[in-house]
Amino acid sequence: LRILNACSRTLKIQRPKNPPTYSQIFQPIITTTQVPLMEIDFNIHKTNSSYFADVDIARAHLICTLFSVGIEHCRGGTGAYTGADVPFFSCALGAVSCSFKRELKAYESYELWTRVLSWDEKWIYLITHFVRRGTVKPKDYTLYPEQNPNAPELSETEGERHAEQQASLDVLSCHPGVVATALSKCVFKSGRRTIPPAFMFKMSGILPPVSSHKPTESAENCDDSDSQHGSCKSSDSGIALNNDDEESEIDRVEKERARGMEVAQCLGGNTQHALELEFTGSEEPVLGRHLDGVGLGGIARCAAMLAQSMSYHDLIEHSDQPSYPLL
């Protein structure tokens, strides 16, 4: 149901009145939720594994909001079954990482701030911050202006105090309300064909259409889609300049994309390949083999081990009693 709620943002009746533009590419979408009972660990905190499920939901909200028009184009409609003779469209997860800074208590409300960090010829990188609810107030709601509260005007003293607080937060390495940070690497697919993120931006009306430039060598896994989706070389973000008025804004988008790409290198191909090479396989010895306690078989094995442990303790207790010689 959580995924369906996010995917409903692709429906025309659920889209914002004003479609997103290139000035909103790096702005986050906030998803509000809380820690349910089934996601609590032994410490009465949100279990670490459940963070990744939340990241899946947050990604779906952002992708279905930003790329609703592009998704409709690739699927041939917005319904569950469009009937269009087009390959199956999907957004596949290539890699994900999550760092934990503070705990979330049972039934505590929190927010998922998810935005585009960067993209290249194949991958789009999304960053999600887990934020305690109420600790951060957005400066403005640009895509849904009706959500902007009627904030009271601050007095001169309050304004100075607020400015000092914001300045102190800028110096800190992280906002105190952030409890965890996740980075996701995703790829758009039409069947087995890779769709460059730049094409999705353009089909969604977020970036200007492709300009007439000299074709370049396409990247791996993108050669089959170059004629349909345009160039997708790693040095080209897919941004085209139409006029001088847009140039400064588009340049800022490209600079932010390049800056975010440096941050996203931790999920880049070279880093992940180095981790894959750490697999020893059959070249080195192993400690042994354990069975996971999943299913009915796992329950039976767990019960057998508990019974064996209890009988072992009983044997130890009886061995501590004094023994008498046999006649």
Extract the runs of DSSP E, i.e. beta strands, from 35-177.
Answer: 89-100, 109-119, 124-132
Give the SS3 label for residue 151: coil
CA–CA gap between residue 163 and residue 182 (Å, rounded): 29
Output the average pLDDT for the chain.
79
Domain range annotation of the chain? 1-145+173-211
The tens digit of pLDDT for each residue in 225-266 reads 444 444 444 444 656 555 555 567 788 889 999 999 999 988
CA–CA gap between residue 249 and residue 25 (Å, rounded): 11
The tens digit of pLDDT for each residue in 199-218 reads 999 999 998 765 434 333 43
Residue 209 φ/ψ region, left for φ over 0, alpha for ψ in the -120 to 50 degree band, beta for the rest = beta
The tens digit of pLDDT for each residue in 33-49 reads 999 999 999 999 999 99
Q: Which residues of 114-131 are buried (b: 16+ CB within 10 A; e: fewer)?
A: bbbbbbbbbbbbbbbbbb
The tens digit of pLDDT for each residue in 102-155 reads 999 999 999 999 999 999 999 999 999 999 999 999 989 999 888 888 655 545
Q: Looking at domain 1-145+173-211, which of 3.20.20.140, 3.10.129.10, 3.40.1190.20, 3.40.50.10320 is its CATH number?
A: 3.10.129.10
CA–CA gap between residue 305 and residue 291 (Å, rounded): 12
